[in-house]
Amino acid sequence: MSTKTNRAAISWRLRWRQSLWCLLMAVGLAACSTSPQQASMDVQQPVAVPQPDMAPAAPAMTESTLGTQWGEERESSVRSVKATRLTPDNPQVVAQMQYSDETAIRRALGRKAHRQLNVLLANGKVEWSVQNEQGKPLPIFRTRGSYLVAGRDGERYELVYVNRSNRYYEVVATVDGLDVISGQPGSVRNRGYLLHPGHTVRIDGFRMSEREVAAFRFAAKALAYANNTPAGDARNVGVIGSALFEVRMDDSPHLRIPEVEPSSGKPNPFPADPARSYAPPPQYRR
């Protein structure tokens, strides 16, 4: 009786040890099957959600290495035309590009940088690009719906708008937060340039008069026009803005907007606003 009891106890202990061993094996296998998956997820996470590559882009997008200087005088004549905004308080499009040097942009975006040559506005009806003095589009990098333009210190540039539609648009543009016509803080209520159907408008500087502009030139931030005029704000240096209004050409007195003329055309004053001021020259502090 005692022998049978001992054998039963031994048998029970063996079965208990085997069960415990199987349980430990199951836990070990579960741990082994989970760890590689977790490690794989950690490795693949930057690919599926490119957070590590994108995170450094924020400083580059908010802290440009360049500004836009008040450049040399250039001939650029305009004349006044009458037009009415179809939606005076609501532009069809408000868009912006930030700019910096290409090295800083590529360092921020890494291999995630997607390069293009223009931006489509109003569902592709208007193409917007930034071109150098040779007429070559500067590279634009898109990230998270934002656009970064690559410029070079000392390089002259132009804002170029191509109208692919049969509609008339008014283009209100700002550089470093300043209106390109008045040199005052940008507002969608400011007047812009007329963009004819199928035509191209080149805005090549801050307007000094109805005949001349001061060329846009990339420069060190300390030399930026916005940093050397009372209306400027250093926080806006490194950003270019565009607003599009669809307009109707008629004899309405509500709005007169300048239309860029060929350089050979005879300029006219702005009859609706003869006292209108243009961008004042910079006042360098040192």
The string of pLDDT tens digits covering residues 79-95 is 888 899 999 989 999 99
Residue 261, CB-side half-sphere exposure with 13 Å CA sphere: 17
Give domain status of residue 87, yes or no: yes
Phi, psi values for residue 181, rounded to 5°: -95, -50
27 and 113 share a domain?
Answer: no
Q: How many angstroms separate the CA atoms of 113 and 102, rounded?
A: 11
Q: What is the pLDDT of residue 277?
A: 72
20 and 97 share a domain?
Answer: no
Domain count of the chain? 2
Give domain status of residue 118, yes or no: yes
122 and 238 share a domain?
Answer: yes
19 and 138 share a domain?
Answer: no
Q: What is the pLDDT of residue 200?
A: 96
192 and 222 share a domain?
Answer: yes
Q: What is the pLDDT of residue 11?
A: 53
Q: How many angstroms separate the CA atoms of 46 and 67, rounded?
A: 33
Give domain status of residue 274, yes or no: no
Across the chain, which has 286 residues, the per-10-residue mean pLDDT values are: 49 47 34 29 26 32 83 92 91 95 84 85 97 96 87 97 96 97 95 95 96 96 96 95 93 53 41 58 78
Q: How many angstroms separate the CA atoms of 141 and 105, rounded?
A: 8
H-state helical runs in 110-221: none
CB 151 within 8 A of CB 65: no
> Containing domain of residue 200, as a range?
65-260
Q: What tens digit of pLDDT does each residue of 48-81 get? A: 222 332 223 333 344 789 999 999 999 999 888 8
The model's pTM is 0.71
- Name the percent of the chain in helix, strand, coil, to the closest 5: 25, 35, 40
Q: What is the pLDDT of residue 55?
A: 29
Q: How many angstroms separate the CA atoms of 193 and 94, rounded?
A: 15
Give domain status of residue 57, yes or no: no
70 and 43 share a domain?
Answer: no
